[in-house]
């Protein structure tokens, strides 16, 4: 069977007011208004849902993410691994170096800037795995365990979610000619019903999953940005300041999304990587270099030896506070970001084989994240081992200051201010690209696969993302942001389960010569030159 040559799909008059647009916008507006006008009630509702999920469905989150990882590895080594994400004779759209660079950029962003120091320091003080292994808190062994747990939360399990969503989108769009929307991943199971109410419902779930996942990242980022401005310029840490920052970033990201200045965003993203490497170099050479080298070897070995059993661990404590605050939150966060990062990975992976796509994307980005965690978290832990309480006290009082306190504790006075400014700049730029990418992906889904949605939609959703982040921040700060992520991930996790089934059936249908109907949503193919040109405008904005 010759695969479809249809590369991109959309809808007639895509990007204009449609049922999806009206429905999703009204639902978001209702959520924001209700939350802002009923802050205490909203917080109670979020807390109630969160408690119920943690008590009854923690095992489900653990199983679903581990199963996705196992499924991805199986597909990579199965007979379907040679299938190309495009025509049989199609070459990869991007060279390996460029492709790897974009995958690597996915591994570094606002989330790691926030957690790479704070999380290891908190695990260093106590976690269930210390008790299970007879390790005393605040020791060198506890430091190794803290790094391993942080790597686990940012490693293969989470990336498998992104990669599976990306594989489904890439296969059904570039190989089978379906629209670039989440609903297309269920075509083998639903057939033409994806073009009706069921398909709309699936895309709405993906929209809200992306919306809350991105809003959580924005909320975390703005808290750290506020801390940085306070450290540098004495700007007060307050809800008012954070509201202003959310509004500022939302406006900048919206202008970026509608202006078409893709080259500027691309340059910004390239500089993000360069500045990140400068910051890493400062930590490595000004910090405990030998300790970091030792920690790299031991941590990677510890992770490889234990990531599978850790992936199936469920806290039997009735409250499940530690696992709920950490592992379940992270799995929810990865699931919520699945449509966003998955769509970006799909967009840059055309022409790769399934096996090449899975193995490279499953290994390279986590390694980038591991490097960041070991360098930043390891430096902080070394400082803490030599001067007990110096950084843990800061983290316990205000985790958003962990990065700045670590830079100061390294002790290179001549560079402290410059590195603090650089860190704040990185937070701002990664923050903007996160908001921009979330806006573009949501608009693409709302437009039913149109990769160039109308400017009016970009404005609405760019401001809408900021509105949701603001509402959650007012409803309970960090706790509300985490809770919203866990809740939003639950329905999309069900969709992801069926996508696994549909993907295998899609492979089998192809071998049987069964074709798919892409006419209901499809429009003529955009030429390769146009696709490449437009992708260059959007790839960097989606790179976080």
Domain with 340 in it: what CATH number? Answer: 1.20.1740
Q: For residue 238, is it within any domain?
A: yes
CA distance 175 to 417: 51
Let me know: does 523 contact 11? Beta carbons within 8 Å: yes
Task: Report the pLDDT averaged over residues 55-77.
Answer: 96
Let me know the angle formed at the C-alpha of 11 by 7 and 12, rounded to the nearest 5 degrees. Answer: 120
What residue has token string 């699931």?
A: 335
Mean pLDDT of 43-60: 88
The tokens describing 462, both together, are 């760019």
CA torsion sign for 409, 413, 415, 418 is positive
Cα(458)–Cα(516) distance, integer angstroms:
30
pLDDT tens figures, 292-302: 999 999 999 99
Residue 14 lies in a domain: no
On whether the CB atoms of residues 300 and 155 are closer than 8 A, the answer is no
Average pLDDT over residues 412-420: 94
| Residue 2, domain member (yes or no) | no
Inside any domain, residue 165: yes
- As a whole number, the mean pLDDT across the chain is 85
Mean pLDDT within 248-263: 72
- Looking at residue 528, its pLDDT comes to 35
pLDDT score of 441: 82
Judged by average pLDDT, the poorest of 121-125, 176-180, 494-498 is 176-180
The two three-digit tokens of residue 475, written as one number: 């409803």
**pTM for the structure as a whole:** 0.88
Q: What is the dihedral of CA 406, 140, 276, 391, to 10 degrees?
A: -20
The pLDDT tens digits for 71-84 are 999 999 999 999 99
In a domain, 174, yes or no: yes
537 is a domain residue: no
Q: Tell me, yes or no, whether 203 lies in a domain.
A: yes
Q: Is residue 168 within 8 Å of 181, Cβ to Cβ?
A: no
Percent of the chain topping pLDDT 90 = 49
Q: Which domain holds residue 189?
A: 19-531
How does residue 538 score in pLDDT terms, banded at 50, 70 and 90?
Answer: very low
Which whole number is the average pLDDT over 212-238?
88
518 within a domain of the structure (yes/no): yes
Residue 39 has a pLDDT of 81
Q: What does the pLDDT read at residue 369?
A: 92
Number of compact structural domains in the chain: 1
């Amino acid at each position: 069977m010759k695969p479809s040559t249809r590369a991109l799909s959309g809808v007639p008059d895509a990007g204009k007011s449609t049922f999806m647009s009206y429905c999703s916008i009204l639902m978001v507006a209702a959520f924001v208004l209700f939350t802002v006008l009923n802050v205490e009630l909203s917080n109670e509702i979020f807390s109630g849902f969160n408690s119920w999920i943690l008590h009854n469905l923690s095992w489900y989150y653990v199983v679903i993410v581990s199963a996705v990882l196992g499924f991805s590895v199986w597909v990579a080594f199965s007979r379907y691994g040679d299938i190309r994400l495009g025509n049989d004779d199609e070459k990869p759209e991007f060279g390996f170096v460029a492709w790897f660079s974009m995958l690597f950029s996915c591994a570094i962003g606002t989330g790691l800037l926030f957690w790479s120091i704070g999380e290891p320091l908190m695990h260093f003080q106590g976690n269930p795995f210390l008790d299970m292994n007879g390790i005393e808190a605040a020791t060198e062994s506890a430091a190794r365990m803290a790094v391993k747990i942080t790597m686990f939360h940012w490693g293969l399990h989470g990336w498998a979610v992104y990669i599976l969503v990306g594989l489904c989108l890439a296969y059904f769009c570039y190989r089978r000619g379906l629209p670039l929307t989440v609903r297309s991943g269920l075509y083998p199971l639903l057939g033409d019903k994806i073009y009706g109410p069921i398909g709309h419902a699936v895309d709405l779930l993906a929209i809200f999953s992306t919306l809350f996942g991105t809003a959580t990242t924005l909320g975390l980022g703005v808290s750290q940005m506020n801390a940085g401005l306070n450290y540098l310029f004495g700007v007060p840490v307050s809800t008012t300041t954070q509201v202003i920052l959310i509004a500022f970033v939302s406006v900048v990201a919206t202008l970026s999304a509608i202006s078409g200045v893709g080259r500027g965003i691309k340059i910004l993203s390239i500089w993000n990587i360069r500045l990140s490497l400068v910051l890493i170099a400062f930590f490595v050479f000004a910090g405990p270099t030998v300790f970091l080298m030792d920690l790299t070897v031991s941590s990677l070995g510890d992770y490889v030896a234990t990531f599978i059993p850790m992936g199936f661990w469920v806290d039997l404590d009735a409250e499940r506070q530690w696992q709920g605050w950490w592992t379940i939150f992270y799995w929810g966060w990865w699931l919520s970001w699945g449509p966003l990062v998955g769509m970006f990975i799909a967009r840059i992976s055309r022409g790769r084989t399934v096996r090449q796509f899975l193995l490279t994307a499953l290994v390279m980005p986590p390694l980038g994240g591991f490097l960041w965690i070991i360098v930043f978290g390891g430096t902080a832990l070394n400082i803490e081992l030599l001067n007990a309480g110096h950084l843990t006290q800061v983290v316990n009082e205000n985790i958003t200051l962990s990065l700045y306190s670590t830079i100061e504790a390294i002790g290179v006075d001549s560079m402290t201010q410059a590195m603090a400014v650089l860190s704040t700049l990185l937070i701002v730029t990664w923050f903007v690209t996160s908001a921009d990418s979330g806006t573009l992906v949501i608009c693409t889904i709302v437009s039913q696969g149109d990769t160039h949605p109308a400017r009016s939609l970009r404005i609405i959703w760019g401001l809408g993302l900021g509105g949701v982040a603001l509402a959650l921040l007012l409803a309970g700060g960090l706790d509300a942001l985490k809770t919203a992520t866990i809740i939003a991930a639950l329905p999309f996790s069900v969709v992801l389960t069926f996508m696994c089934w549909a993907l295998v059936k899609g492979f089998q249908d192809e071998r049987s010569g069964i074709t798919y109907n892409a006419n209901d949503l499809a429009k003529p193919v955009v030429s390769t030159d146009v696709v490449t040109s437009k992708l260059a405008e959007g790839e960097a904005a989606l790179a976080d």
